Every structure is written in structure tokens, then in C-alpha cells.
Amino acid sequence: QKEVEQDPGPLSVPEGAIVSLNCTYSNSAFQYFMWYRQYSRKGPELLMYTYSSGNKEDGRFTAQVDKSSKYISLFIRDSQPSDSATYLCARARNSGYALNFGKGTSLLVTP
């Protein structure tokens, strides 16, 4: 079983839509959860960083962690064509330790 499962997509939505991206993971001994955005031929860019369960909001982005269900979500409100990228979820046992990544979900926001 893969440690972090993520639907590869592609996911195509119209501009202005609310986007929901999800990951599931095995082994609950992880405390730190992150979402990264990666444009083609670039390195991943940190979007959200959360500790344990709960929600975190930053502008149009909301990250949600449900440790009881082992489920991580990223919501993007008012999606823009510039949001078109691959979104990667990641987890770590502890701050500064190795990240386990999902394979990424490709998102396309059409004007």
C-alpha cells in the first residue's frame, strides 16, 4: 500500500469554481501535513503547512486535516487560470524530517 495516495487527475474546472483536492494516507504517526504547488519545470512551492488535525486558511486556500480518517484536503476558492499546476500533498513525522509525497494531482483551470 502506498503511504500517501492522491488521485492524479487531470482535474479540469472553469474559472471561479471551488476546487477540492484530496489525499489519503496510511500510518497515523505523522504530525505535519503540507500542500505544494508545482508548475512545469519548476520546483514545488509550499502553499500550506499544518500541524496535526484541523483547518488552516490562507487567502483563497484552505487546508484541512482529519487524522481520524487519515484524510488531507486542499480547497481553492475562486480558482484562476494561474492556479493551473500540479498539487502535491506531503506529510512528515516531525518538523524537519523526511517528507512523504503523493504523486500529485494535475489541475487545469479554464477561462
Locate the DSSP E strands across the chain: 4-6, 11-14, 19-25, 32-38, 45-51, 54-58, 61-66, 71-76, 85-92, 100-101, 105-110
Of the candidates 93, 95, 87, 94, the one whose C-alpha atom is nearest the C-alpha of residue 25 is 93
Task: Determine if 97 is a binding residue for another protein (CB under 8 A).
Answer: yes
Q: Which is nearer to another protein, 52 or 110 (CB)?
A: 52
The amino acid at 35: W
Task: Determine if 68 is a binding residue for another protein (CB under 8 A).
Answer: no
Task: Determine if 46 is a binding residue for another protein (CB under 8 A).
Answer: yes
**Region of 11-19, 20-28, 41-49, 67-75 interacting with another protein (CB under 8 A):** 41-49
CB of 111 to another protein, least distance (A): 27
Binding site for another protein (CB under 8 A): 32, 34, 36, 41-46, 49, 88, 90, 95-104
